Amino acid sequence: MKKVKQWIRDWTGIQHWKREYSISGRIGKHYCPNCQSLLILKKKSQVVNSESEEARKFDFSTLDSYMIGNVKFIWDIYYCEKCNLETSIKDIRIYERKQKNRNK
């Protein structure tokens, strides 16, 4: 019952939600650029109003329309438990490509 109440509290006032996936960064093991520890995949979310200033950083479009109001965006990030680094999948892929080109 506690989980249901928590879920309802988390979604109060949200009209829409959008889950973003990045398949390319999920394959294989990835290591922290700072401390070389193994990174873990975590879900990150943020509620953004379509009328707010920070709305410019998010994509409110759907297949054939546009979401208006409070939207909960959910995406994956990599997290290092040792140094508390949070980084996007895109940034880790860029770092790994640079490392690969440097080692050639």
pLDDT tens digits for 36-68?
999 999 999 888 888 889 888 888 887 788 888
Interval 18-47 mean pLDDT: 82
CA contacts within 13 A on the Cβ side of 64: 0
**Are residues 83 and 32 in contact, defined by beta-carbon separation less than 8 angstroms?**
yes
Structure tokens at 52: 């707010």
Tokens 């009209």, residue located: 15
- pLDDT (0 to 100) of residue 8: 45
Interval 60-89 mean pLDDT: 88
